[in-house]
Amino acid sequence: MRTPESALPQPRPSGPSRPVWQRLTLALLPLSLAACAVHGPPPTVATPVPPQWQAPLPHQGSVVELGRWWRQQDPLLAELILAADSVSPTVASAKSNIEQARAARAAASAALLPTLDASASVSRSRGAVFNRMVPPAATTAQLGLQSSWEIDLFGGAAASRDAEQQRLQGSQALWHSARVSVAAEVATQYHSLRACEQLLAVARADAASRAETARLTDLATKAGFQAPATAALAQASAAEGRSAATAQAAQCDIDIKALVALTALPEPELRSKLAQSPTAAADTRSDDTLAPVISVPAVVLSQRPDIFNAAREVDAAHLDVGSARAERYPRLSLSGSIAGNRSRTDGVSQRYNTWSIGPLQLTVPLFDGGASAANVEAAKARYENATAQYRGSVRQAVREVEEALVNLQSTADRSRDAAMAADGYRASFAGTEARYRSGLASLVELEDARRTLLAAQGALVNLQRERRVAWVSLYRALGGGWTADNTEGPVAGNPPTTSGPVN
């Protein structure tokens, strides 16, 4: 905070005006001391505001590092995320908000500086006729500079500038939040597509098995070893399998079109990339690589962009209270000008310069109908609202992280049982199929075993997809990922892998 001695123009050591400046300085000193009350510490917030926001730990807020983090689990997924980031309207809107906040900060900073305007004028005039004497015409030209400065005695303008700086930092965090949301959305859709491909492989294998059973049953019926009703049941089962495979293929096409919309990649190019991806041919029956995360340190939540932005809003709202209070105190302004003049009359030119400093004006608000007091109360209400929003953001962040951890643990606990169930039903179906071909089991028994196996395989694939989605949810809940040093668990830092069809 500047004192009046540094804020006001310094007088020359000599001259009659020096005592006046000294008296003015002494008169304004109490006002300067009162300014310290405008920017007091903010009221106590029950939930502590993070002292600073750190970029997400795995990739430090860098687009390149973000792609590298996702590339650990699937290079194609990282490529799709970067493509979606470049065309996302959400990210573009966040970038626009940053530019707007930067412009607002520049405007607030300019209020602390003097203004300087230039002016130029040219006039031509002739005086009145006197005693039939026509006076000559005169041309006058003027070029000048005018300056004015409202001295920020009580820090109101500085508080507004600092508030806009806080909002700029918050908008930058929200830009990163938009990138995290886009990455999570693409990853969720990608895992959904990969799960759909696995289910399609299961459905096609099941349809082929049903078709082979129908063929053999038809041959047995024609030879007189099976009843026509049994052949009809086998044909119906084959038709049902083909229908299920067709429906599953359509769902995969829908998932691809959703990825096309997110990434803006041409559909043929995207299909080619998906077909060439090594994960498409992978054989995974359980996600053993996705070990559970046991716990997450609370400090990791400080990297969430929404929490950081909410904290910045609290700071900005507190600064707005100080700015509103400053409007109730006297205002001091100083103005000055300098001009060069040229006058030409009857071929005779004259030049002269003028300059002025002042007036130094002190404006003391006396009565405004309670408008300034109402502005202060409104600013306080906005501060209380920002505080409540911050506390709510922290609670929501804790909830999202805990829910993601619960889902991860739940899928980990169910993975082994689901894989064991699929293997058991697969062996049971193989035995029933062998007995059916030997004539020791009916087609009804075979179809029951087939439906049970199909349900177990579908449940295993859906469980794997649920697990990957839970990892993506944890990524979003932590504000953009984590490293092994920030979580506890066997291999907590490993990102999820994407698997191929289940055999």
Q: What is the pLDDT of residue 70?
A: 77
59 falls in which pLDDT band (50, 70, 90)? low
Which amino acid is present at 259? Answer: L
Q: What is the pLDDT of residue 66?
A: 67
Q: What percent of the chain has pLDDT over 70?
A: 75
482 falls in which pLDDT band (50, 70, 90)? low
Residue 227 pLDDT exceeds 90: no
2 falls in which pLDDT band (50, 70, 90)? very low
Nearest to 319, CA basis, from 99, 85, 41: 41
Q: Which of 6-20, 70-84, 321-335 has the highest mean pLDDT?
A: 321-335
Q: What is the pLDDT of residue 269?
A: 93
Nearest to 481, CA basis, from 53, 56, 187, 55: 56
**Tokens encoding 486:** 């920030």
Residue 285 pLDDT exceeds 50: no
| Cα–Cα distance measured from residue 268 to residue 23, given in angstroms and rounded to the nearest whole number | 82
Residue 29 pLDDT exceeds 80: no
Q: What is the pLDDT of residue 500?
A: 33
Q: What is the pLDDT of residue 216?
A: 83
SS3 (DSSP) at 223: coil
Residue 7 pLDDT exceeds 50: no
- Structure confidence by residue, pLDDT tens digits, 178-204: 888 999 999 999 999 999 999 998 899
Within 10 A of 21 (CB to CB), how many other CB atoms are there?
A: 18
Lowest mean pLDDT among 51-60, 136-145, 311-320, 371-380: 51-60
Lowest mean pLDDT among 150-159, 219-228, 414-423: 219-228
Nearest to 271, CA basis, from 263, 285, 503, 498: 263
Q: What is the pLDDT of residue 294?
A: 54
| Cα–Cα distance measured from residue 405 to residue 184, given in angstroms and rounded to the nearest whole number | 16
Does 286 or 223 have the greater pLDDT score? Answer: 223
Residue 164 pLDDT exceeds 60: yes
Within 10 A of 354 (CB to CB), how many other CB atoms are there?
A: 11
Bridge partners, residue 334, by sequence: 149, 360
Q: What is the pLDDT of residue 492?
A: 34
Residue 40 pLDDT exceeds 60: no
**Tokens encoding 180:** 């995290």
Q: What is the pLDDT of residue 134?
A: 64
| Cα–Cα distance measured from residue 377 to residue 475, given in angstroms and rounded to the nearest whole number | 40
DSSP assignment of 245-257, as one string? Answer: HHHHHHHHHHHHH
Q: What is the pLDDT of residue 43?
A: 43
297 falls in which pLDDT band (50, 70, 90)? low
Q: What percent of the chain has pLDDT over 90?
A: 35
Sign of CA dihedral 432, 435, 437, 440: negative
Does 341 or 38 have the greater pLDDT score? Answer: 341
Within 10 A of 371 (CB to CB), how many other CB atoms are there?
A: 11
Q: What is the pLDDT of residue 257?
A: 95
Q: What is the pLDDT of residue 210?
A: 86
Q: What is the pLDDT of residue 65?
A: 65
Mean pLDDT value of segment 150-157 = 90
67 falls in which pLDDT band (50, 70, 90)? low
Mean pLDDT value of segment 352-367 = 89
Do strands 115-126 and 137-151 pair parallel, antiparallel, or not at all (unpaired)? antiparallel
Under 8 Å between Cβ of 490 and 291: yes
Mean of pLDDT over the chain: 79
Q: What is the pLDDT of residue 13?
A: 37
What torsion do the CA atoms of 479, 480, 483, 488 make, to the nearest 10 degrees? 40
Q: What is the pLDDT of residue 193?
A: 93
Does 290 or 375 have the greater pLDDT score? Answer: 375
Angle CA(230)–CA(233)–CA(237) in degrees, nearest 5?
140
Between the CA of residue 354 and those of 8, 10, 336, 337, what are the distances in Å? 22, 21, 11, 8
